A and B are shown apart, each in its own frame.
Chain A
């Protein structure tokens, strides 16, 4: 009997074509007769839109249609419906779409877009959160009161798109205790562009009264819903299909350009393709948001954290988007990881006249972990504690209570810290070249976005199975490794005999998207459930054929055997043929969702995630050398202990960790989106936006921590999102250790590190964020 495919480092089935250049991503597709789209975008950050005249564009050769806000009446959003597809009466950010042109060639479309006459009356722009929150500041959405709330509970006012608050215990009493020291810190972190090599791209058709959109997305069902909402049509009239996705990293978790292609396809009756240029992606991507954090803690001499409070501002840009959701996650990351006596947190998504931000791998968790772990090191310094020993004693464990009152199950972080102590023993020593040497350790808490998933499994007459889901392969490998491994294990066949259907919302049931570390957990559990139903039916038919009880049967290696009677066996093909003769083809459906844990009464307001259904933990540590003359940072060794529940495919997980850490090094050290005085993103391409290169990367040393509780299949947890969580934290703590001055901003560029060494850069003042974070 062959081994179970669970825990086996099965290779990717999509690698051969990807290594031959044959894989056709959405950017590589098209069809005869298709039209090309160009967007007319705003060239100011804030203005009244007085007049849009499309006639000059329509008069040009090759132009088939021009659409504006009148053609897409709906507003969309995550927490609040505040976002029109095209600017409606007002420009809220540089690069905002005003109109779209479909023409025979891309050149014609661009020329026509430029020919559209746009008359504007400029308004003062709020390019920073401090400006947007200043007393009397102009409201970026004067109609905010009239917006539909898609989720109830977020406090909204003026330029605050969404506010979530958490409170547990008597914070004021704890801060007033005579036996505590109070440690406070402020942090400011930058925007990060996802920079997937494949841009956002969609190809839409309108046939038989329905839209079919082939697109590069992580979340087909969200695109379906967004098109329906913005075009004012039934979701049933929208079909989404997804070829292999050339990188997403969270940006493609939200619909963005697809409705534009859809409305133009309906208007023209032709296939319509919209592909963003790299410059458009740099200037309008739904980046990881910049943020500002004030945090303080009351800590006793022996390391008890009596209370912690914080205020966090997330820059959502011109529209609320994912940040209305992410305010919840600030609670669980910034107030996570440690046992806290009392908690008070205010987390606000703030409108500014900048491009809207969105989701990017571990989202707000990256900067909350940076702030939390730098703050933790400040606490250690204040009470004279060892950084490792303090963490070992203070991290949450079995039975400890989280910020919103949930009770955590299992000791996970403490044994992971112990494992890190072992990894540390094999590190290289400090350099002997005059550079400053430091070490940083960071713990982190993130979550698996469990949510609903559906799967169907069919067992075919060839003995193989077909798995049908709305999951998409974005590069992480879950769809080509973990999912077929899970199905194969249930059906006693090889993973290679499980065909995985490409996502098609006409064929597959609902799924909440590939992101949030949820694919292996939620789609995995749904797929396992579907395979279980097939397995049960298969064994019933086999029992019939073999004249044995189903419970006495063994299913493995493509055949069914009777336990203890090796001669009594049938191949799966034979059993399927029997089923076809008796009752018809074999299929099963599976579905899964997270239980949706609630906060303790009164502990959380405005939270879309009140408690963590499935927490996931990570411990990172690194050693750095800092050049005191230039501020240049070299990471000498990087170590990760990651909570994976159970590793379905250990090598694929290790590759996710390696890639996530290097992406995190970019975030920590050099990637940053900034704005000029007109509100335009300064980094228009990859010359000025510095992505990590091979020479910036190093081999990450990895230990997988198995055995933590999980509702995932075989006890698995998602492993692709969390690797980036702690990187800026570990590097920031290491640089601070090396230079003996506090790093409080991201990214930690050489200029910024040198300025900190020289005392020219102080922690951000953040006068617009009050002390006493909860009020």
Chain B
């Protein structure tokens, strides 16, 4: 059974062991894209978060068969034109990273969150960032620098286009 999909902008076809093999396992063990982490394997930590047709999903709970014909984006594809996203930049400037295992999932969750909030014209607040992170566990940082970096990124994005004050 071949599964064909678009991965970070490139077409790939894989032959998974079973249709139920998780997308996370295929990414890590078949395609050797280890940026997507697999910390709990049960959908409680968010470290395996990727985008499926633009929406964040837990790769550990996504059977590979469901990916056929669709588009997957991973943390490795976050900077296709060679430039960091505003969110990556803000995380680095805030020195938010510690061990780093949760950040791929955090970035995928928050990238979609910032896009959705901007499209909906909603102001990004510390509370809304914390709510967005409900499915992402970080054991090192206590989350504060991650929340602040996300606010920075939202502020930077909002500052570049006319609009309401993003940071409240």
A695 at the interface (CB under 8 A from B): yes
Q: Does A565 contact B (CB under 8 A)?
A: no
Chain A residues within CB distance 8 Å of chain B: 9, 11-12, 14-16, 18-25, 27-28, 194-199, 244-247, 249, 277-278, 474-477, 651-652, 655, 658-663, 685-687, 691-695, 697, 699-700
Of the A-B pairs whose beta carbons lie under 8 Å apart in the complex, a sample of 11, sorted by A's number, is A23-B100, A24-B34, A27-B34, A197-B39, A247-B99, A278-B42, A476-B98, A655-B98, A655-B145, A658-B144, A695-B131
> B139 touching A197 by the CB < 8 A rule?
yes
Residues 92-124 (chain B) with a chain A CB within 8 angstroms: 92-93, 95-104, 107
Partner of A198, one of B36, B101, B104, B141: B101
Contact check, B97 vs A19: say whether CB atoms are below 8 A apart: yes
Tell whether A197 pairs with B35 under 8 Å between CB atoms, given A19-B97, A23-B100, A697-B142: no
A9 and B95: CB pair below 8 A?
yes
Assuming the contacts A659-B140, A694-B143, A697-B142, asked whether A474 and B99 have C-beta atoms less than 8 A apart, the reply is: yes
Interface stretch, picked from B63-71, B73-81, B153-161, is: B73-81
Task: Tell me if B's interface is mostly helix, strand, loop or mixed.
Answer: loop
- With CB as the reference atom, state the residue of chain B lying closest to A698: B144
Known: A197-B137, A691-B137, A694-B147. A686 touches B142 (CB 8 A): no
Please give, as numbers and ranges, the residues of chain A lying within 8 Å of B33 by CB-CB distance.
21
A19-B88, A658-B142 given; A686·B44 CB < 8 A: yes
11 more contacts with CB within 8 A, not counting A18-B97, A655-B142, are A11-B92, A19-B103, A24-B34, A198-B101, A278-B41, A477-B98, A659-B142, A691-B137, A693-B133, A694-B129, A697-B130
Assembly CA distance A278 to B102 (angstroms): 15
Which residues on the B side are within 8 Å of A475 (C-beta)?
98-100, 140
* Residues in chain A near residue B133, CB distance under 8 A: 693-695
Q: Are B34 and A21 in contact (CB-based, < 8 A)?
A: yes
* A21 near B104: Cβ-Cβ < 8 Å: yes
The answer on a CB contact under 8 Å between B144 and A697 is yes
With A198-B39, A695-B134 known as contacts, the answer to whether A20 contacts B78 (CB < 8 A) is yes
- Once bound together, how far apart are the Cα atoms of A694 and B131, in whole Å? 7
The contact of A20 among B35, B41, B44, B131, by CB within 8 Å, is: B35
A18 near B45: Cβ-Cβ < 8 Å: no
B92 touches A15 (CB 8 A): yes
CB of B24 closer than 8 Å to a CB of A = no
Q: Is B22 an interface residue (CB 8 A)?
A: no
Closest to B43 in A: A687
Minimum CB–CB distance for B86 against chain A, Å: 12
Bound Cα distance from A361 to B100, whole angstroms: 18
A25→B47 CA distance, assembly (Å): 14
A-side contacts of B129, CB under 8 Å? 694
Q: Which residue of A lies closest to B142 (CB)?
A: A662
**Contact of B95 with A18 in the complex, beta carbons under 8 Å:** no
B39, B98, B136 interface centre (most CB from chain A within 10 Å): B98
Check if A15 sits within 8 Å of B97, measured CB to CB.
Answer: yes
For A24, the chain B residues whose CB sits under 8 A away are: 34
Q: Indicate whether B58 reaches chain A with its CB closer than 8 angstroms.
A: no
Nearest 4 CB-CB pairings of A with B: A21-B35, A475-B99, A18-B100, A662-B142
Contact indicator B92/A19 (Cβ below 8 Å)? yes
* A694 contacts B134, C-beta separation under 8 Å: yes
Find chain B residues with CB under 8 A from A22 CB: 35, 76
